[in-house]
Structures are given as structure tokens and as C-alpha cells.
Chains A and B, each alone.
Chain A
Amino acid sequence: MEKLIMVVDDSPTFLSSVSFCLRNAGYKVTEAKDGKDALEKLSNMKKEGQIPSLVVTDINMPRMDGIAFIKKVKKGNFRFLPILVLTTESEKSMIEKGKAAGASGWLVKPFRPEKFLWVIKKLVWTDERT
């Protein structure tokens, strides 16, 4: 079965290019436009019994930023959900914050698709590997 990945970003261009890249590599993708939207979608998904295998999120977003989003996710019902941060933010203190909040990894934009997919593969169990 295809693995589901949630992508959270406020830039539609970026959102679609990341999604495109993931879909091309055979993942199922669901999109959210900021932290708040993502949280809502996550809890709806949980009700339907379909939790993503990984969340890829931006940091600087309106309404709820990435750090707050991660904190909420980790405190709520998704303690063990891997969250990969994909952002232009490369400030060390910010990375520390993100990691402390519970981020699994931190990638800085712009990125190479190969590298991005390679990292995704490292974080997601796929059927042929279980």
C-alpha cells in the first residue's frame, strides 16, 4: 500500500512542487496550508483511522507556525509521528527549538529532490521493507 505523507506549507508553489516530487516517487500526499490547518486535518484523519506515516512541515507560517505545530502534535495523540522540517530557516537556535519540540529531522531549502527522497525513505517504513 502507498504510504501517506502530509505536507504543510503556506506557499502554494512550494506545496505543489514538494507534493509532485513525492507523488512521483510513489507516495500518497495530503496537503495543509499551515499548522492549524494541519492539526485539524490530522485529527479528522485519526477519526477515519488513517494517520500519515510522516509529516513534512515548513516553519514560518501564518496562524500557527511549525514549532507550535510540532509541540501540539507531540503533546496530543501523535507522540510518535515522525516530523521532518523543510524550511529556509537555518538559524541554529531555531533548529534547536525544533528538535526540542520533537522534530525528527531538519532540512534546509532549497533541496535536491534526490536528497529529499533519500531522507524520506530513511524515515518511512515501506511495505517491501517490513
Chain B
Amino acid sequence: MNEREETLQIFFVETEDLLKKSEESLLRLEATPGPGPDLEELFRAIHTLKSGCAMVGFNALSKYVHIIENLLDRIRNNQLSVTKPLISFLLEDVDFIRAMVDRCAAGEDIDPDTLNARKAQLNRFLGIEGVSGKEEATLEPVPDSVRNDSWHYYHIDLKFKKDLFNFGHDPLLLLLNLTELGECVEVVADTSELPGYKEMDFYELYISWRVILKTTASVQEVEDVFMFVMDENKIVIEEITDRYREGVDLQLGEMPLGEALIERGGITREDLESALDKQKKLGEILVDEGKIDKEAIQKVVSQQQESRFAYRKTSLRVDVEKIDHLVNLAEEIGIGLSRTQSLLAREDSLSRDEIEQEIETLLNVNREFQERVASVRMFSLKGTFRRFQRIVRDAAYDQKKEIKVILSGIDTELDKEVIEYIADPLKHLVRNCVDHGIELPEERVAAGKPAEGIIEFKAYQKGGKIFIQISDDGRGLDMEKIRHRALEMGLDKAGEKLDNDALMEIICCPGFSTSSSVTELSGRGVGMDAVKTQIERIGGSIQIETKKGKGSVFTLIIPLTFTLTEALHVRDQDISYLVPLWGIMGVERFDEGRMRTFGSDEKVYRFREDYIPLMSLYRIYGTIAPENDHTGTAAVFLNTGRQKFGILIDEVLASHQVVVKSIESNYQGIRGVGGATIMGDGSAAIVLDLLGLEEIFFKRLLPGGEV
């Protein structure tokens, strides 16, 4: 007998027992009609029967019994009197239910027509026996006191008119009625409208409420509580089940404080805007009061950033689904391992093929596992971009500028840590666009542009890197002014024609600013130099394009993640290196005939109809010089998207997915080194930073020097 059959067996025995009890109670009830112990016993029996039917899956029958239960409930409430016909009817019902249960026991389905016919009889019966002929008899099953429905959360805003009491309504009674639907998990009374004692009219209502209700009720049921006050008063009911969990509104964390206060603290948008108008930044206040100078603030702000960099947030909110998937994969790995073990333990015939096959499967599962683990850390840029939208809005309002924000690629995902690192630099760039990029509406119209400026945020992924662009259609960087300032500051590049790199170098120079105003303080005190440092810290770079009168484009190029990289394991001079796969064009056996040497050690190599510069890794990293003129046996050709170059190595091993650990917490950033990782055999390997290597090749920067 299986479990289902066992449950059914118990159910049939219990049902027969309950039906017998019902019959006895009915007969006693006939002798002493009306509410009392007999009715209670009958009610309990029928109620138990209903639950039983539902439990074994006889839902149609359960619903039918439910109607009888309601009928009995009416007798209990003196809404229906016990008569002889009623008793006979209910006795008939007992036989009917018994017959239906027998059918179910025999594995037959209940004929819906039979059931409906009986239901109609029940209804008709009640129509006659109802409390009053005028009222329609209702036998719709009323909701059970506890339903199996899931919890709903509602955000309810109650802003009543001051004269609510005059209409005989009591807000406390309304709140009380609300608690009868469920639990008010949060109640906030807004007393800000409350006047002083002398001005107060005690017959008026000054308080408004905000309630989070946890209930199984529908929106309609919640609205019904306010049915008489809905029209005249400001009652807003919003279902927030999707974003409310265990007392935490998930959306709240994503909002700036002002927005959250509007949502939950009961202030209006006008309140917020007038407060923002009055608000001065802490730095400005302190400088105005002469308590501190601007440089000192800058210093502390950058120290703060150092500190934030060091103590990043260590917790992560992850979808349960993602975790479940990981658990499954972990189990699969466990199963694979034990299968392999048992294969090895088999003494008779050790099949190499079978073991290899198992290992192959394991490797696949493991790869997926690693990908999934990495994806746990991935978050979309949505929240960040949305915040910028707000920053632009506020800053534009402050400066009386008209700016439209366009967002694209907001679903692009980035490592959570990376998002945290780039948030402040991005914010600075955004403020720059508003403060310095977009002109005042008058200026724009005079220049033949629409009065409304445009700032566009765009994110996309290309070749293992994430590109985040912030562009504006403003006045562009003033090259003359920049050149002028550069000369003033004695920056040696000032005389030359400015290309992107030189431009970057100048505007990212600590202390460089073309603006005479002190808007720097209005940001977080992060100068362009800090922006550049921060971005480079996570292996990223910044590009600037600008055209006078047309606008500027700032592009941040940042690594997708620091966690997982697909890389080629190579060895040179017994040192393991990992070359990120995204930059590899090809790998070839070294052929000395295709190499040309210029000067003392400039080498080019012919690769696919192209001569590209070549260098030995040991020269780049200054590791031990090999005995005699060692040149390596293989060459790896790389393309960073901007430049092509090759490196010479001794040995090419396998391609791996590696977890890159930053080594910067112990050492300062080293140009050309992206990080380190531990290989499967326990040895350490250096992960190459291709963009850094490119700088070494083409800018003749000091190999291995500090960034």
C-alpha cells in the first residue's frame, strides 16, 4: 500500500465515523431544535469532513460540504431556524455525501451534474427557509477565516479631510477594521499638521496615517474597509507584495533619502524640493564658517574614499533561485566525484575510458558552477543609472538648466564590487556634464541649439570589457582654456598638440580645474585625478572625446569582473603566466626566420601578413635573464583593440578559467600585472594586464613600474 492509499484508507474510516456522528446529531437536533451542543457537534463533524475532503483532493465534494457548513453557521447565528424539512434535507445530505465518498473510493469521478443538481436543491431549500422573504439567500461559500492564500502586503496612505468626524467616521475605528484583515506591520502617524494647543480645533482631524498591511485579503477587500470614505478623502492603496519582504521594503534601499521620505515618511515632493533648495553641502557650510579650508576637506574626502576602498561591503543580496541552482550543481559535483571514486575502487577492470568520461562530465559541471558563482556577483547598472537621473534632475534644477536624460543599456551587468567602485567617479563625471557641459537655455538657443540639453548614459559590453559612456551635447571642453591653464601650471605637454592621452593627463592632473567657481565642493570633492585613480585601480581606463560647441563624451572602460577570467596558461623561465583569452589573436611556434631586429633589441615578427612588435616576457618583467641568448619557443600574439603586439614565451600549457586575486592589497599596483591566482597544482601564476603591457610596448613606460 502506498502513501496515498494509506491516507485514503484513514480518510474513509474517519468519514464513515463523521457521517454517523452527523446522523445522530441531526436526530437529536430534531428533538431539541436551535443552537446548542448538538448543533455544535454537527458543525464540528461537517467542518472536519470538509477539511478531510480537501486534504485527499476531493475538491468538488469539499466545496459542497462547505456550503452545508455555511448553512449550519446560519442556524448558529439564528439566521435560519431548524425545521423538520431542514432536518430531513440534511439527513438526505449525509446519505448523499456517503454515496459520493464511496464513488471516490471506487476511483470514480463525481459527476458534476449530480453535484450541481444537489447544490441547486440546497439553494432552493435555503431560499424558502431564509430569514426574510425580501432578502436573497446567499450560499456562496464565504471565505474561510484562514485561507491558503499567500500573504499580500499593501501600502496604505490615509489622508482624511479635517472634518471627517462630522460624517460620523472615526479614523481609529477604520484602522481597527483594517487590523481585522490582517496585521498592520507598520503604522506611521504623521502629526506634522497638528497645530499648537491654542489654534487647535478639537473637533477636527489633523493626523494622517501610513500603514503597511500584511494580509491574505484582496485589494478589493482592503478597499471595502474604506468604502464610505474613499471618495471624499485621499486614500491610496498600493499592493507592494513584490518588493516587500520580512519587514523590509526592497525598493527603499535603492532610493535617495529624499525619495524614500516621500514614499514612507509622509513628506510631499514640494516639501523635498523646497528643502533641497535651502540645503547647503556640509563642506560649503564649514568653509563659509571659516572652520576649515577647501584643501583640508578634499584631503578628508579622499581619505574617506581610501577607507571605503579598503572596507568594502561584504554582504550581498542574492536571488534564492541562483543559490538553489548552485546547490544543485554542488550536488552534481558530489555525485560525479563519488561515481569516479567507485570506478577507481573497482578491482576487476579499471577502465580508463570510463574515468575520463566521468572527469569530462565533472569538468563541465564545474565550469557551469564557476560561471554561476560569478553571476551571483553580477548586478545591472539600472540602480546606478537611475540615481544619476535624479542627480542630473536636481543639479539642473539648482542651476536653472533644462536637461533631458537618456538611458540605454541599463541591463548591462557588472560585478557588484565594480559597480561600487565606479559609482563615485561616475557621479563626478555626471556633475561635470551638468555643471560645465550643458549651457544655460539662453546660451543654447543663441548657439542655435534646442534649449533643452541632453545627457546620455550608455553601457555596453565588448570584448570582456564594459564600456560606460556619459555624453552631453553641451559646449565641449574649452581647449584654449585648458591649454592656457596647462601653461600656467607649467605642465610640459602644453605646447604640443593635445591628443586624448595628453588631454586626459592634463585634466586629470591633481588640482587642475578650468572652472573659476568652487563647484568642486558641490560634488564629493572628487577631482578628475581621483576619478582616474579610482578607475585605474580596478584595471579600467577613461577616454575623452570633445568638440567645441558640440559636447563631450567620457568613456569608462572597465573589466567585467575581477573574479573569473578565461586565460591561457603559459610558462617562461619557469614562471607561470596567465594571458587573458579575450586579447589573444593567435599562438604560434616561434620561427626565428620571421623575426627582424632593429637597433639593439627592437624586434618585429611577421604574423598573418603583418609585422608586429615582439618582446620576451622576461625582459618585460625583468625576471632572471636566461643563460645564453634564449629567445623562447613560442609566441603569443595579442590585440587589445587599439594595438597589436606579441610576447615570447617558453611553453604553452592549457587554457583555464581562473579566479584572479588582486595583489594590490599587499603591493602597489604594478603596470602590466593584473593580479595573481593559484593554479590547480598549488603553484602561483601571474595574470597579465594586457592594457598595461600595451603601455609598456608603445609608450615606453617603465616596465613593472608603479601605476
Instruction: Give residues in A with beta carbon < 8 Å to B.
Output: 13-14, 17, 20-21, 24-25, 54, 74, 79-83, 99, 102-106, 110-114, 119, 121-123, 125, 129
Contacts and interface: CB of A to CB of B under 8 A. Distances in A.
A90 to B, nearest CB: 15
Nearest to A95: B231
B81 to A, nearest CB: 11
Interface residues of B, number: 26
Interface string B184-208: 0000000000000000000100000
B168 A102 contact: yes
Contact of A112 (B78, B136, B170, B231): B136
Interface stretch (B112-120, B127-135, B555-563, B661-669): B127-135
Residue from B79, B131, B166, B167 with most neighbouring chain A CB atoms (10 Å): B167
Contacts of B228: 104-106, 123
B138 interface: yes
Contact of A17 (B132, B142, B231): B132
Contacts of A83: 168
B307 interface: no
Contacts of B173: 122-123, 125
A98 to B, nearest CB: 11
Given A111-B135, A121-B177, 6 more contacts: A14-B134, A21-B131, A79-B166, A105-B227, A105-B228, A122-B225
Contacts of B203: 79-80
A13 to B, nearest CB: 8
A120 to B, nearest CB: 12
B165 A20 contact: no
Contacts of A14: 134
B28 interface: no
Contacts of A103: 167-168
B502 interface: no
B315 to A, nearest CB: 43
Contacts of B135: 17, 110-113
Nearest to A25: B77
Contacts of B227: 105, 119, 122
Contacts of A82: 167-169
B169 A104 contact: yes
B398 interface: no
A20 B132 contact: yes
B119 to A, nearest CB: 19
Contacts of A113: 79, 131-132, 135
Given A81-B168, A125-B170, A99 B232 contact: yes
B327 interface: no
B78 A24 contact: yes
B268 to A, nearest CB: 27
A79 B131 CA distance: 35
A26 B77 CA distance: 10
Interface in B147-189: 165-170, 173-174, 176-177
Shortest 9 CB-CB contacts between residues of A and residues of B: A82-B168, A105-B228, A104-B168, A17-B132, A24-B78, A80-B165, A122-B177, A104-B167, A112-B138
A112 B74 CA distance: 13
A62 B688 CA distance: 97
Nearest to A55: B168
A26 to B, nearest CB: 9
B371 to A, nearest CB: 56
A28 to B, nearest CB: 16
A123 B168 contact: yes
Contacts of A114: 138, 142
Contacts of B131: 20-21, 24, 113
Interface in B389-428: none
A130 B31 CA distance: 40
Contacts of B176: 129
A17 B167 contact: no
Contacts of B168: 54, 80-83, 102-104, 123
A79 B173 CA distance: 17
B79 A102 contact: no
Contacts of B174: 122
A104 B169 CA distance: 6
A24 B77 contact: yes
B237 to A, nearest CB: 16
A24 B166 contact: no
A25 B74 CA distance: 11
8 contacts: A79-B165, A99-B167, A99-B232, A104-B167, A104-B169, A110-B136, A122-B173, A122-B177
Contacts of B142: 114
B213 to A, nearest CB: 16
Contacts of B177: 121-122
A17 B134 contact: yes
B276 to A, nearest CB: 40
Contact of B166 (A21, A74, A122): A74
